[in-house]
Structure formats: C-alpha cells, structure tokens
Amino acid sequence: DGGITQSPKYLFRKEGQNVTLSCEQNLNHDAMYWYRQDPGQGLRLIYYSQIVNDFQKGDIAEGYSVSREKKESFPLTVTSAQKNPTAFYLCATVRGTNYGYTFGSGTRLTVV
C-alpha cells in the first residue's frame, strides 16, 4: 500500500543537539510538507517542497532545515537554534491541485 512513513515515532534529544526526522513516501507525490503541532494550537507550516531540489520556508522555519534530494524523501532537521523544539511533527504530501492530502503518523520530539 502507498503511504507516508515517519520515523521514529518518539524521539528524545538533549538540549544543544541537532536531530533529523525522517519522512518517506511511495505515493509519487510531488509536494511534501512539514507541520508542527503544539497542545491547544492548530498545525503550523515549517517548510514545504513542491519539487525535487527546491523547498520554501513556511510560517515557522526558524531553527529548522530541510532537504529534498529525492522525490520520496523530505527529512527535517531540528537544529539547536530552535528555541522550543518539543512538539509533535507531521509530514504530509499532496498529489496536486484538487487532490486531498495524505498525512504521516507523526514524530513526537521531546527535548530533555
């Protein structure tokens, strides 16, 4: 079955460390997105990519970085510059205009 795989499901990081969250899809979708969810708030866009080797900042990109070297993969690095990284991170893809989104199962990151 086609879908999105996010790993790991739970991640613990020490303050000052960078950490990379994985998002892999086998749906052959062009566009991929990273969202952050905090308790009581709506999801917010971190970065998105509409094509390989190209990506754009979302609303809360500071402290994060991404790459899109392959269509299937859109990893997110949470850097030590991100002041409050503890959150739930969701990856999503969309096939194109007028199509629905597909979401991964998410990664819960906790800074200890």
Partner 1 sequence: KNEVEQSPQNLTAQEGEFITINCSYSVGISALHWLQQHPGGGIVSLFMLSSGKKKHGRLIATINIQEKHSSLHITASHPRDSAVYICAVIQGAQKLVFGQGTRLTINP
H or E element in which residue 30 lies: none
CA–CA distance, 6 with 74 (Å, rounded to integer): 10
Least distance in Å: CB of 83 to partner 1? 22
**Cβ of residue 103: shortest distance to partner 1, in angstroms?**
4
Burial (Cβ within 10 Å: 0-12, 13-18, ≥19) of residue 69: exposed
Give the interface segment with partner 1, choosing from 15-23, 64-72, 79-87, 96-104 (CB under 8 A): 96-104
Q: In this structure, which long-range contacts are made by residues 51-55, counting pairs with CB atoms below 8 Å and at least 24 apart in sequence?
A: none
CA gyration radius, the chain: 13
Residues 34-73, mask of contacts with partner 1 (x by CB under 8 A): -x-x--xxxxxx--x-x-----x-x---------------
Residues in contact with partner 1 by the rule CB under 8 A: 31, 33, 35, 37, 40-45, 48, 50, 56, 58, 88, 90, 92, 94, 97-106, 108
